[in-house]
Amino acid sequence: MSLLTPLLRSGALTSLFSDEQVVQGMLEFEAALARAQARCGVIPPSAVEPIVTACQFHNIDFPALAAAAANAGNLAIPLVKQLTQKVKTQDADAARYVHWGATSQDAIDTGLVLQLRAALTQTDRDLATLTAILAQQVERYRTTIMPGRTWMQHALPITFGLKLAGTLDALLRWQERLTQLRPRVLVLQLGGAAGTLASLKASGPQVGDALAQTLDLALADTPWHSQRDRLLEVGAWYAGLCGTLAKFANDFSLLMQTEVAEVSEPIAEGRGGSSAMPHKRNPVSCAAILTAAQRTPGLMATLYASQIQQHERALGGWQAEWEVLPELISLAGGVMAQSDYLIRGMQVNTAKMRADLEITHGLIMAEAVTLALAEFIGKADAHHLVEKHCHQAIDRHQSLIKLLQNDPLVSQHLSASTLAQLLDPATALGSSDHFVRQVLARYKEQCHEHSLSN
């Protein structure tokens, strides 16, 4: 539904999979095919210019193309017919050589690969921007103390910088995988009717090599008409990226609950309001990100099911990819755009984070006391004793430190000043800063490597 595109598919990737770009991708294949075949002496050089000139999407009647595709079973068959007629109006002899020796799937698959190349390039830029913004926020909040939460309950103190660094660390891995998958995915499809290129006789390999060079794509060892692992890898990458950013959005929305109020989304006029309740500030970006994440598993299930393709040309599996993969990528583009907006302008209430550490009256620091006491009475006895006082603190609404100070066994080994220090959240951050520094160092290293590769 196009009305929802600004909310769910607002990224730059959506336009790369428009109807116009789908058609243009196939036309670029046809133009490059003519150039490559002329270079190899398969078609006359005079046929190239009329074919290439006609290979522009504005020359195509889209309503007629859509109607004809319903009977043809794919877009390429009626597209080649329209293209041939267009060329024929300029050069009847050149029209004989349109789509020479190729099959519909060659045009459709290679056209898709050209779209994927543009999408992967744009994604690389968007991801670089997103990691840069996130790295700045990691640095900004690297010492901001907040409650860590496990099983949705207070666990131990952490820093907000560490929480953000976990997301940055994952995004850096996705960035590495993106670089690694490009040469595997950006591959020409040219196999002819049954994957043998019999129509081109002995010139098949030569034409394939020339076409790959013309389109600046890798040349596969064999046509991959019914081997779809490359597209599955692309889909899995985008779905995985959505998962990482959705985990962040989910955490963020939980921290944004009224009772927690440690963060909030960027403030903007008319954003996050309610039609009934004027006080509401709803997590709109988080909702959009999580909506996409809810959809990607189903789309990936279709791509996995589409791996089971019949013989040399699929019946249903290949066709199912046509809308599923672009939709998945467009949703992922929206997720990146919403995440950029969210991370760039997020509001962080550092005072509330610190205050929330105190709502359990010191219970969040119980482990530190247990470990210190264990040196004197053993781990099991220390755990049992501190656990008992934690339960009492909850039942009596008392602070843990008062109960511990009044316990003769505890006070025998731990002074009041020692207990105060042990119950200070700032002393229990462990290796948080070390982990943050490692991620930031890796980010800087990867930025350097990325700039060299580009």
Give the active site residue among 125, 173, 271, 274.
Answer: 274
pLDDT digits 0-9 by tens, 119-145: 999 999 999 999 999 999 999 999 999
User: Taking the domains of the chain in order of start, what are their residue ranges?
Assistant: 2-140+155-355, 363-422
Q: What is the mean pLDDT of residues 248-273?
A: 86
The two three-digit tokens of residue 309, written as one number: 């393709």
Range in 19-23, 54-58, 102-106, 266-270 the model is least confident about: 266-270
Dist. CA 401–CA 411, nearest whole Å = 11
Q: How confident is the model at residue 271 (pLDDT cuts 50, 70, 90)?
A: low
Under CATH, to which class is 2-140+155-355 assigned?
Answer: mainly alpha
Report pLDDT for 368.
Answer: 87
Report pLDDT for 276.
Answer: 44
Dist. CA 217–CA 42, nearest whole Å = 21
> Does the annotation mark 177 as catalytic?
no
The two three-digit tokens of residue 213, written as one number: 């060079």
CATH of domain 363-422: 1.10.40.30
The two three-digit tokens of residue 440, written as one number: 């930031």
How many CB atoms lie under 10 A from the CB of residue 4?
12
Q: What is the mean pLDDT of residues 200-226?
A: 95
Q: How confident is the model at residue 264 (pLDDT cuts 50, 70, 90)?
A: very high
Q: What is the mean pLDDT of residues 232-250?
A: 97
Cα 240 versus chain centre, distance: 6
Q: Kindly give, in sequence order, each residue whose CB lies less than 8 Å from that of residue 84, ignoring residues fewer than 6 positions away.
A: 95, 98, 99
Dist. CA 377–CA 389, nearest whole Å = 16
Give the active site residue among 39, 295, 313, 354.
Answer: 313
- State the distance between the two ends of the chain, measured CA to CA, in whole angstroms: 36
> Does the annotation mark 274 as catalytic?
yes
| Amino acid identity for residue 199 in this structure | S
- Cβ-based burial of 297 (10 A; exposed 0-12, middle 13-18, buried ≥19): exposed
Single pTM value for the model: 0.92
> Greatest CA span in the chain, whole angstroms?
103
Q: Kindly give, in sequence order, each residue whose CB lies less than 8 Å from that of residue 391, ignoring residues fewer than 6 positions away.
A: none
Question: Quick check: 403 pLDDT over 90?
Answer: no
pLDDT digits 0-9 by tens, 158-199: 999 999 999 999 999 999 999 999 999 999 999 999 999 999
Angle between helices 432-453 and 104-140 (to 10 degrees): 140
Question: Quick check: 453 pLDDT over 90?
Answer: no
Question: Quick check: 278 pLDDT over 60?
Answer: no
Cα 300 versus chain centre, distance: 13
